[in-house]
Chains A and B, each alone.
Chain A
């Protein structure tokens, strides 16, 4: 799990950018409570002030469905970038991918927020 340190008073936004030949649906949760569902390849979520989510864990899960075979090739060329603003280091966090079945794979990232 990555920990991101952010200055007190900052407003945090998450941008999820997905590049894939597979059909995708994603969800964003804070401490396992879902705050956003999306069926698009590019979306942004306002997570609020760091003071309100200090110590909480953000998880982004994207599920991919491949109908016509080629799942390994499609998975290989799939990229899920999570960009947290205000800028942090590193600014872009690439999600890890896991093959689930011949038609389904998922990508995920887990981030903990800490106030400084």
Chain B
């Protein structure tokens, strides 16, 4: 077991080193990374998510000049005093109050629109010294269709389970710490209540779009000429549950992706002074299977442009828990040279901010 962790750690370090070289093809299918970070070849471990506009402006003032990475979901930032939000409106599946018919809004995914901004000073492949670069991006879900009856049933079931979690007045009067301690002590009971409704229900179909634009200062001065990089991605995902009706804790899925993307990459230089731009268009697809904590799949992407190539990669992902997962890939990458064997290994982890002391499932 100890050996396994050493191997995993070495694999992670080598992957991180590899990621210093910008590879735009890393925006693979089902990748939820923000376009601004993808264009810079960065996966920042500390992305700042502002709670309001004031906090955002203070953060920008305090950090500009250093590396800066910010992600904003406008739905939660604009009009924070709104008094008509509901979960049903947010996911777009709701019961008509008059006819009791279940309806869905296929455009509700626009609520998840995410805007990202990154400013970094880093070395790029082919350039000998660091370059100041900024990038902006936007990602959203244009369309999504759920099994609306299934989602509604699960929503009501979860809400009813939540309504059964009571807290004595003596605990409420003591405040935050006592309340967290109480939930911690009751976590087995709470997990038993909500677990039947925690299965992820994916949309049957969703269509995502993402765009990013990045500028690099060629001579590291604000007055210097710039090189540009632009990317736009369109991805559709169709998901089918494989274990419908089973008592398993998770839903097993078959997922089918189709993607199209266009990229202009001006961050290329042969002699440090003359930059050139390469263009390419990608079209491809991916199938994958999710069985609880394990997922494996295969993707094929054809590339036409400044050079034509293809990517053919098998992928494996193992989820330890909600925050940590391992992923790996093996196959042929886009590179047109002989050295086009792709072997990747990575550890992904999420950061939960704020006060979180209770270890509920």
Interchain residue pairs with CB less than 8 A apart (28): A21-B111, A22-B87, A23-B155, A24-B87, A25-B158, A25-B159, A25-B160, A25-B165, A26-B162, A26-B163, A27-B164, A32-B166, A34-B166, A39-B163, A57-B169, A59-B167, A69-B350, A73-B51, A73-B76, A77-B82, A78-B85, A79-B83, A99-B355, A99-B356, A101-B358, A101-B359, A104-B190, A106-B183
In the assembled complex, the Cα of A80 lies from the Cα of B189 at a distance in Å of 25
Q: Which 9 A-B pairs have the closest CB atoms?
A: A25-B162, A25-B163, A39-B159, A73-B76, A63-B162, A37-B163, A21-B90, A25-B159, A101-B360
CB of B62 closer than 8 Å to a CB of A: no
- CB neighbours of A1 from chain B (8 A): 173
Contact of B167 among A21, A23, A65, A106 (CB under 8 A): A106
B85 in contact with A20 (CB, 8 Å): yes
- CB neighbours of B85 from chain A (8 A): 19-21, 77-78
- CB neighbours of A104 from chain B (8 A): 183, 190, 358, 360
Which of chain B's residues 324-361 have a Cβ closer than 8 Å to chain A? 350, 352-356, 358-360
A41 and B355 contact, Cβ closer than 8 Å, known pairs A59-B167, A65-B158: no
B49 in contact with A72 (CB, 8 Å): yes
- CB neighbours of A59 from chain B (8 A): 167, 169, 172
For A, the interface residue count at a CB cutoff of 8 angstroms equals: 49
Closest to A74 in B: B76
B168 in contact with A32 (CB, 8 Å): yes
B354 to chain A, nearest CB (A): 5
B81 in contact with A79 (CB, 8 Å): yes
A42 to chain B, nearest CB (A): 9
- CB neighbours of B99 from chain A (8 A): none
Which of chain B's residues 222-267 have a Cβ closer than 8 Å to chain A? none
CB of A9 closer than 8 Å to a CB of B: no
Interface on A for B, CB 8 Å cutoff?
1, 17, 19-27, 29, 31-32, 34, 37-41, 57, 59, 61, 63-65, 67, 69-79, 81, 98-104, 106, 108, 110
B359 in contact with A20 (CB, 8 Å): no
- CB neighbours of A24 from chain B (8 A): 87, 159, 162
For B, the interface residue count at a CB cutoff of 8 angstroms equals: 52
Contact of A37 among B49, B164, B168, B322 (CB under 8 A): B164
Which of chain B's residues 65-79 have a Cβ closer than 8 Å to chain A? 73, 75-77
B87 in contact with A72 (CB, 8 Å): no
A65 and B81 contact, Cβ closer than 8 Å, known pairs A59-B169, A100-B358, A103-B360: no
Contact of B166 among A17, A27, A67 (CB under 8 A): A27
- CB neighbours of A75 from chain B (8 A): 354
- CB neighbours of B358 from chain A (8 A): 100-101, 104
- CB neighbours of A100 from chain B (8 A): 179-180, 183, 356, 358, 360
A41 in contact with B166 (CB, 8 Å): no
In the assembled complex, the Cα of A92 lies from the Cα of B356 at a distance in Å of 29
A23 and B87 contact, Cβ closer than 8 Å, known pairs A59-B169, A65-B194, A76-B76: yes
In the assembled complex, the Cα of A67 lies from the Cα of B93 at a distance in Å of 15
In the assembled complex, the Cα of A37 lies from the Cα of B167 at a distance in Å of 13
In the assembled complex, the Cα of A77 lies from the Cα of B160 at a distance in Å of 22
CB of B52 closer than 8 Å to a CB of A: yes
In the assembled complex, the Cα of A103 lies from the Cα of B200 at a distance in Å of 13
- CB neighbours of B166 from chain A (8 A): 27, 29, 32, 34, 61
CB of B31 closer than 8 Å to a CB of A: no
Which of chain B's residues 160-207 have a Cβ closer than 8 Å to chain A? 160-169, 172-173, 176, 179-180, 183, 190, 194, 198, 200
